[in-house]
Amino acid sequence: MPGFEIFGAEEKQQVLDVLDSGVLFRYEFAAQRKDVWKVREFEQAFAAYTGATHAQAVTSGTAALKVALAALGVGAGDEVITQGFTFVATWEAILDCGAVPVFTEVDLTLNMDPADLEKKITPKTKAIVPVHMMGAQARIEEIKAIADRCNIPVIEDTAQAAGGRLHGRHLGSFGAVGTFSFDAVKTMTTGEGGMCITSDEALWRRMSEYQDHGHDHAPNPGGRGGEGRPFIGFNYRMMEIQGAIGLAQLAKLDGIVAAQKTNKAFFQEAASVLPGVRFREILDADGDSATFLTFMLPDSERTTAVNQVLRDEGVGAVRWSENGWHYYPNWEHLLEGKTYCHGGWPFSAHGKRRIVYDPQALPASAAILERALTYQVPILLADEQKTKIAAALKKAAQV
């Protein structure tokens, strides 16, 4: 991780195909494009790879969440449950629909705790968004069973877990929709870009229309602009160059995951020298995309001391309790209701505060994440770097 580590001739040739056609837009221009339809081809290939029947490419993983929520009819006054350890995009998309994010604890998978999920469901809950955080499986089978009993659709945020599986089934294919990110630091990348997958044709059609201003994409003699528009939409269209890069990266994805598994095994063995270390719970090691190695130490003080040694040695780990992008207590803009909107939307409406968050609301998650350290697992890992990391962890074991 990320896929740009292995950019090569395949990506270049795919992009040259687009440039030679002279068409960057994913729709229309059939006479000019020399039968080059990279985004369409990427969608078909990604759907086949994940076992879904349909895929809809969009501009980002954030856009994928927004498109999925919109296609499921989520809007103002609704509640959407997600987890308190995720990238901010998950709840930004929920707020952007006018809905209210409700946060659950995570367990030792570092993903949604199904027991806490059951406590958070109300009559206002219109979707559940578990996150396969850092490339490893959420308890998606348990979550889906709970959701099905309550007749609530599940959107799998699979932004960080392309190539991951659970018991042979691709992550993202369990819920009504699976969303993926292909941004610059993802396992496979198109620079920016995202994908929604589903096996519900009607839901796919709504996503296809919504991401292109509501156009129905039915053939018509008037060409572009002559389509019907069954509802309003927005512009989240992927461009052909992104689709081209995606095709080349998708072809390499299984090889990327295999390389990461080898390198993750090195990180785990190296970290095993730490007294009292415990590793993140992985539900299916064979299906792990192996993008990160996370370990927990006995207490916060020990975690601080160990990571200080690692930082001093130039190989510091990510400590999530210090991270402002992924950790609920550090989302000050959410907790303080910061917005540019004059009326305070989405935190306030009609002069009244509609959402208030307690920074201490997820104590179980905090207790885990304050003890957690994480290494991002690269695709390419030089022997010199391995030696440096292993030596630093041995030194940290002595503190």
Q: Write out the chain's pLDDT in tens, 399 residues.
A: 689 999 999 999 999 999 999 999 999 999 999 999 999 999 999 999 999 999 999 999 999 999 999 999 999 999 999 999 999 999 999 999 999 999 999 999 999 999 999 999 999 999 999 999 999 999 999 999 999 999 999 999 999 999 999 999 999 999 999 999 999 999 999 999 999 999 999 999 999 999 999 998 887 666 776 778 889 999 999 999 999 999 999 999 999 999 999 999 999 999 999 999 999 999 999 999 999 999 999 999 999 999 999 999 999 999 999 998 999 999 999 999 999 999 999 999 999 999 999 999 999 999 999 999 999 999 999 999 999 999 999 999 999
Residues whose CB falls within 8 Å of the CB of residue 128, separated by 6 or more in sequence, listed in order: 80, 81, 82, 117, 143, 146, 147, 152, 153, 154, 155
DSSP for 280-341? PP-S-GGG----EEEEE-SSHHHHHHHHHHHHHTT-PPEEGGG-TTTBGGG-HHHHTT--S-
Q: Identify the domain boundary among 190, 220, 252.
A: 252
> Are 47 and 191 within one domain?
yes
CB-facing half-sphere around the CA of 157: CA atoms within 13 A? 30
What is the reported pLDDT for 228? 83
Residues 174 and 270 placed together within one structural domain of the fold? no
Supply angle C-alpha 245, 63, 25, rounded to 5.
50
Neighbours of 386 (CB within 10 A): 14
* H helical segments located in the chain: 9-21, 38-50, 61-71, 89-96, 114-120, 140-149, 201-210, 240-271, 300-312, 332-335, 363-369, 383-396
Residue 106 and residue 83 in contact, taking contact as beta carbons nearer than 8 Å? yes
Statement to judge: residues 17 and 96 lie in one domain: yes
Structural domains of the chain, count:
2
Please tell me whether residues 214 and 272 are part of one structural domain.
no
Given the residues 66, 186, 252, 264, select the one marked as catalytic.
186
175 and 237 part of one domain: yes
Residue 224's pLDDT is what? 73
- What pLDDT sits at residue 370? 97
| 244 and 311 belong to one structural domain | no
Query: Which of 235, 238, 178, 224 is closest to 203 using CA atoms?
Result: 178
DSSP-assigned states of every residue in 21-71 = HT--SSSS-TTTTTT--HHHHHHHHHHHHHT-SEEEEES-HHHHHHHHHHH
- Considering the domain architecture, whether residues 107 and 18 belong to the same structural domain is answered as yes
Q: Show which of 223, 252, 281 is a domain's final residue.
A: 252
278 and 352 in a single domain? The answer is yes
Question: Tell me, what's the pLDDT at 222?
Answer: 63
Calculate the alpha carbon distances from 170 to 104, 152, 174, 327, 364 in Å: 24, 21, 8, 26, 29
Q: Quote the DSSP letter at residue 234.
A: -
What domain range includes position 264? 254-396
- Shared domain for 101 and 20, answered yes or no, is yes
CB 62 within 8 A of CB 183: no
Q: What pLDDT score was predicted for residue 218?
A: 80
| 320 alpha carbon, distance to own chain's centre | 17
What does the angle CA 263 – CA 286 – CA 326 come to, to the nearest 5 degrees? 65
Question: Quick one: pLDDT at residue 221?
Answer: 64
Instruction: Report the 10 Å Cβ neighbour count for 195.
Output: 31
Our answer to whether residue 386 is catalytic in this structure is: no
- 376 with 241, same domain? no
Q: Is the same domain home to 329 and 311? A: yes
Same domain assignment for residues 68 and 216: yes
Residue 78: per-residue pLDDT: 98
Where a domain ends, among 217, 252, 287? 252
pLDDT at 364: 98
| Structure letter (DSSP) for residue 355 | -
Coil, helix or strand at residue 125: strand
State the CATH number of the domain containing residue 39: 3.40.640.10
Q: Indicate the SS3 state at residue 243.
A: helix
Q: Supply the CATH number for residue 294's domain.
A: 3.90.1150.10
